[in-house]
A and B are shown apart, each in its own frame.
Chain A
Amino acid sequence: MAENTYQWPDASKRKLIGKRMNRVDGPVKASGRAKYTYDLVRPNMLYGDSVKCPYAHARVKSIDTSAAEKMPGVKAVHVIHGPDDGAKGEVFWAGTDIVAVAAVDEPTARDAVRAIKVEYEQLPHLVLNDKEPNLAEAEKSELYKVASKETVGDPNSAFQQSEVTHEGYYGSPVITHCCLETHGSVAEWPDKDHLFLHISTQNVPGIGEQVAKAIDMPASNVHVHQDHVGGGFGSKLGLDPWGVAAAQLSKKAGGVPVKMMLNRATELETAGCRPSAYARVKVGAKKDGTLLAWESYAWGSGGPGAPGSLAIPYVWKVPNQQKQYVGVVNHIGPSRAWRAPNHPQMCVITMGALDDLAAKLGMDTFDFVKKNIDLLDPRSKIYSEELDVANDLMQWKARWHPRGDSDTLGIPMEAISLQIGDNQYPPDSASGGSSTIGGVSSATFRAATDAKRQLIAKVAPALNAQPADLEVADGRVRVASDASRSLSWKEACSKLGAQTLTVRGTNPGEGDLTNSGVGGVQMADVSVDTETGIVKINKMVAVQDCGLVISPKQAESQVLGAMIMGVSYALYEEKVMDQTTGTMLNTNMDNYRLAGIGDVGELVVRLMTGPGYDERGVIGIGEPPTVSPGAAISNAVANAIGVRVPFLPLTPDRVLEALEKAQGEGGRA
């Protein structure tokens, strides 16, 4: 039978779906032979570098490139941001590119950069963001975008009815993407009208048009190529000044290739960050744990475009809510999508507050969540099942004890947190928003189905059969009722003659192959050394729903990778800004620390699959499991030391400060 509708095959008929297979590009990567944009060496290639503005907020007054232009080996100089660019040469963050140069090698390009003189007029800047903005002042200032107040239900009377309330501060700072392959490109002009661009991007299909627009040329004349990308995490979706500058430099240098990759410091300072989110939260419940009310005053920053409001409480449909949000405009490199934009921050705030409330109620957080499971509609059932699985994997119930009992400090304590992945981004062709597996698999599957259908139609005459009577199995095309009448795949394809089947899959299309919105549960078990303040991850468990799993090994890797990234942002990552100079202080990987192999503990992943899950089709998994590690780890630390460390990352100084404060207040509660 020839399929004429698109359906994922039944579990009994799946050959490759759900099998543990190796990544197709594994060998080329693990042998060091994969070529990334950064690796390209083109004939006669020049090297680009740039003058960067040292001030967070300034105006470019004048530029003198004459000395650089005269230097031997310097082939092109291009002003990116001159006194007349933008709002009269205004620069909004330190590290902004001002002038680009191309030279025969990197050392010469660096020398040329040093020889360029730029005069700036410094303007007042703001780079910090962790102080609670005063609402009355914020309403008057240009630097604050005050969102309108939101009310759900009747928060005032709900708080009056609440028998237990809790108030606290929660938050996470600005962090960066820190892609190991920095942003950049290699540009060349094979002739004066055509641009050939190798670029490190998550958006091969879309980037050409963006470049074309930026330099005012037809998009069809831009050829974009990329074999592999060394990490993007949301920061390589759009076009950067560097991509354009390489093309401009190449043009000025007569079309020869120009390679322009950011150095690590610029990558960290300017090439994308995740906005901060801080909140003062008040929550209220009945004595039996019934959650009644939420109130929050939240703020955050992420560069010149203030971040939009936070959807808190995250996932929980608390019946009565009062919310206010202030977006802070500041002079740091602009934020970009960061693996599940805003979700980890919202999760940290929400689950931190609820965990503290449960502690005040004297309840195990596990029971608190189960008690209020209906507020997790529409995924209450999934979360409830996942909680039970996670409980088994972590032995939660056997190991949990109340915070009040934890006066033995430094013992491992567990924490729980809930998370939801939000896949409601429109499917697109860029690799972002966790749309890759949903978009690519469904499209690929549709394309394969179409190709098979067309092939069968072509070979049916050779087998003396109707297309509907044929099936494809075990590498052969055969008559379903008579397996002896068959052709090998190769023979069948030869019937196509010179004409090749070209079929493009589309998404969305006919048939419901993808779904969106998933739920997951993560638990963390940590030890805290109360002498040094060092937090150590012993074990983490992630139970994750992601619909039909196409390739379990890689799906698990995605979840593991997300948990590890979570350990990084929970314990180490922070873009540290200096208000005096307006610059980032930790622009290297010694001080912008990532988790290492010894920091992540034992990681356990369980994907929820099978009946009840598979039917939902394919769901992307890149983002959802990134959401909750921060909350899980923060809660585990609170449980271990008996006091909340309000803000991520949970660095030793913050842990010790929280402990000291609690002791000063005469006890830890």
Chain B
Amino acid sequence: MSDQDSPKDSGISRRKFLKISAITTSAPLVLGPTVLEVEGQEVHVFGPGKVPIALNVNGKRLTANLEPRFTLLDALREKFEVTGPKRVCDRGTCGACTVLLDNKLVYACSVLAIEAQGKQIVTTDGLAPQGQLHPVSAAFVDNDAQQCGFCTPGFVMATKAFVDKHPNATPDEIARGLGGNFCRCGTYAGIKGAVAQLSGQQQKGGA
């Protein structure tokens, strides 16, 4: 679910990172990224210490000074109070922090905030204007696909991306496509109902 299929997005590979790490420690302690040349490419090096970052979240530009070790999830939640994405496992297992990054689904706990700069970030809170309900959220409500609701925003994002890609999903596709999110209260029957509703299928009670 992360950026694996487009290595360019991550900007810097782990191997290259190891190679240049010696340089970064000797770089002066300044705010803002240092630009280094590694294997003929420009690479931004952030930190140590706080650096200014700018994120584009739900169409708004938000800025803060953060240590580079902040994840996108923590930046969204603690710095910008965008709390639709939840922190549950904090290691890319549960999907509660799912957001769209340039229209691709990612676990926000597994992306650094500095890496998300320059990209369009969409969270559940930003799917519809205040006071309105996005059709995916509405389908969740209609099918009672939320109990405590803590997994729900992540599931809504995953479902949105999923039905956009699979307008007429089979049960197997649902099992795989929404298998990256977990719900403790057990709302899966409702979520299947929501997917069916969104696919314009006859809704099967409890199935």
Interface of A toward B, CB cutoff 8 Å: 22-23, 25-27, 29-36, 38-39, 41, 105-107, 178-182, 228-233, 263-264, 553-554, 556-558, 560-565, 568, 588-590, 594-600, 602-605
Q: Which of B88, B141, B145, B156 contacts A180 (CB 8 A)?
A: B88
Q: Which residues of chain B in 108-163 are interfacial with respect to chain A, using CB atoms and an 8 Å cutoff?
A: 123-125, 127-128, 133-134, 137-138, 140-142, 144-153, 156
Q: Please, could you name 21 A-B residue pairs with CB atoms under 8 Å apart, sorted by A?
A: A27-B137, A27-B138, A29-B152, A30-B140, A30-B145, A32-B83, A32-B124, A32-B125, A179-B148, A180-B182, A181-B86, A182-B88, A231-B150, A264-B90, A557-B144, A557-B147, A560-B186, A589-B88, A589-B93, A594-B183, A600-B186
Q: Which residues of chain B in 176-197 are interfacial with respect to chain A, using CB atoms and an 8 Å cutoff?
A: 176, 178-179, 181-192
Chain B contacts for A22, CB-based, 8 A = 141-142, 144
Please state if A178 and B184 are interface contacts (CB–CB under 8 Å).
yes
Chain A contacts for B172, CB-based, 8 A = 598
Please state if A228 and B94 are interface contacts (CB–CB under 8 Å).
no
Please state if A588 and B93 are interface contacts (CB–CB under 8 Å).
yes
Q: A29-B153, A603-B189 are in contact. List 9 more A-B contacts (CB 8 A).
A: A30-B124, A36-B150, A41-B81, A179-B150, A180-B150, A181-B88, A264-B88, A595-B186, A597-B192
Chain B contacts for A564, CB-based, 8 A = 183, 186-189
- The answer to whether B16 has its CB under 8 Å from any CB of chain A is no
Please state if A106 and B78 are interface contacts (CB–CB under 8 Å).
yes
The residue of chain A having its C-beta at the shortest distance from the C-beta of B154 within the complex is A32
A34 CA to B182 CA in the complex, in Å?
Answer: 19
Chain B contacts for A604, CB-based, 8 A = 206-207
Please state if B93 and A180 are interface contacts (CB–CB under 8 Å).
no
**Shortest CB distance B184–A (Å):** 5
**Shortest CB distance A525–B (Å):** 14
Please state if A589 and B182 are interface contacts (CB–CB under 8 Å).
yes
Q: How many chain B residues touch the partner (CB < 8 A)?
A: 63
Q: Which of B84, B138, B175, B192 contacts A33 (CB 8 A)?
A: B84
A589 CA to B154 CA in the complex, in Å?
Answer: 16
Chain B contacts for A588, CB-based, 8 A = 89, 91, 93
A553 CA to B181 CA in the complex, in Å?
Answer: 23
Q: Which residues of chain B in 60-104 are interfacial with respect to chain A, using CB atoms and an 8 Å cutoff?
A: 67, 69-70, 74, 77-78, 81, 83-91, 93-94, 96
Please state if A557 and B137 are interface contacts (CB–CB under 8 Å).
no
* Secondary structure type dominating chain B contacts: loop
Contact A30:B87 (CB < 8 A) given known A557-B187, A594-B182: no
The residue of chain B having its C-beta at the shortest distance from the C-beta of A556 within the complex is B206
Q: Which of A181, A563, A598 contacts B150 (CB 8 A)?
A: A181
Q: Which residues of chain B in 2-26 are interfacial with respect to chain A, using CB atoms and an 8 Å cutoff?
A: none
Please state if A560 and B206 are interface contacts (CB–CB under 8 Å).
yes
A594 CA to B145 CA in the complex, in Å?
Answer: 17
**Shortest CB distance A496–B (Å):** 31
- The answer to whether B174 has its CB under 8 Å from any CB of chain A is yes
Chain A contacts for B183, CB-based, 8 A = 180, 564, 594, 597
**Shortest CB distance A202–B (Å):** 10
Q: Which of A27, A107, A231, A596 contacts B67 (CB 8 A)?
A: A107
A392 CA to B194 CA in the complex, in Å?
Answer: 27
A25 CA to B152 CA in the complex, in Å?
Answer: 12
**Shortest CB distance B3–A (Å):** 20
A292 CA to B205 CA in the complex, in Å?
Answer: 41
Contact A562:B186 (CB < 8 A) given known A25-B149, A32-B125: yes
Q: Which of A105, A230, A568, A603 contacts B206 (CB 8 A)?
A: A603
Interface centre among B128, B153, B176 (most CB of A within 10 A): B153
Chain A contacts for B182, CB-based, 8 A = 180, 589, 594, 596
Please state if B133 and A180 are interface contacts (CB–CB under 8 Å).
no
Please state if A596 and B179 are interface contacts (CB–CB under 8 Å).
yes
Q: Which of B81, B144, B192, B207 contacts A553 (CB 8 A)?
A: B144
The residue of chain B having its C-beta at the shortest distance from the C-beta of A26 within the complex is B141
A41 CA to B77 CA in the complex, in Å?
Answer: 8
Q: Which of B93, B189, B190 contacts A590 (CB 8 A)?
A: B93
The residue of chain B having its C-beta at the shortest distance from the C-beta of A45 within the complex is B78
A594 CA to B191 CA in the complex, in Å?
Answer: 16
Please state if A598 and B175 are interface contacts (CB–CB under 8 Å).
yes
**Shortest CB distance A405–B (Å):** 30
**Shortest CB distance B72–A (Å):** 14
The residue of chain B having its C-beta at the shortest distance from the C-beta of A177 within the complex is B184
The residue of chain B having its C-beta at the shortest distance from the C-beta of A178 within the complex is B184
The residue of chain A having its C-beta at the shortest distance from the C-beta of B92 within the complex is A590
The residue of chain B having its C-beta at the shortest distance from the C-beta of A34 within the complex is B149
Q: Which of B146, B156, B175, B185 contacts A597 (CB 8 A)?
A: B175
Chain A contacts for B192, CB-based, 8 A = 597
Please state if A30 and B146 are interface contacts (CB–CB under 8 Å).
yes
Please state if A603 and B207 are interface contacts (CB–CB under 8 Å).
yes
The residue of chain B having its C-beta at the shortest distance from the C-beta of A31 within the complex is B137
A522 CA to B148 CA in the complex, in Å?
Answer: 24
The residue of chain B having its C-beta at the shortest distance from the C-beta of A23 within the complex is B144
Please state if A563 and B186 are interface contacts (CB–CB under 8 Å).
yes
Contact A560:B91 (CB < 8 A) given known A29-B149, A230-B149: no
Chain B contacts for A602, CB-based, 8 A = 206-207
Chain B contacts for A23, CB-based, 8 A = 141, 144, 146
Chain B contacts for A41, CB-based, 8 A = 77-78, 81, 83
A604 CA to B87 CA in the complex, in Å?
Answer: 32
A223 CA to B65 CA in the complex, in Å?
Answer: 33
